[in-house]
Amino acid sequence: MKRAVSLLGLVLILTGFTGIAAADVRYDKINIADFCNNPAAFDGRSIEVSGRVIAINAQSKSLELFDSQSKTVVVVRLSQLPKSERVALINNDVRRVGVSGRARMVGERLVIDAEKIDVLPIETKDQTVPLAVTN
């Protein structure tokens, strides 16, 4: 009995360390244009990309990002995110996001299984704010 309790404690400790290690995932920040040059190099890697949202699936299952420099569309699957986060993406006027997750090649397209999504500010060419005119 004492041995069984010791074994159970060891298993709990090891699974706890595994959980901590899994939570510390490092994402490689990539440029989508780099993907166009060698798409197979990103298959299976944990990556981070950013882009403009051009489409969101009506059932909140996926979205599509567009990179204007490389003219590339990336599919982002949202199935691993909590439903509240998926619904928030649809309900808010989200135009640009940063996506972290596991990259996979499906056919010749890059698909990212999102683990985290951050809403990014919209980039504009003119970052100046006009001054208010007072009389």
Please give the mean pLDDT across all residues of the chain. 77
Tell me the per-residue pLDDT of 78-109, one tens digit each, with 9 for 90 and over: 999 998 888 888 888 889 999 999 999 888 77
Which of the listed CATH numbers 2.115.10.20, 3.30.465.10, 3.90.1170.50, 2.40.50.140 matches domain 27-119? 2.40.50.140
In the chain, where are the structural domains located? 27-119
| Beta strand ranges found along 20-61 (DSSP E) | 28-29, 46-56
* pTM, two decimal places: 0.69
Name the percent of the chain in helix, strand, coil, to the closest 5.
30, 35, 35
CB-CB contact of 104 with 44 (8 Å): yes
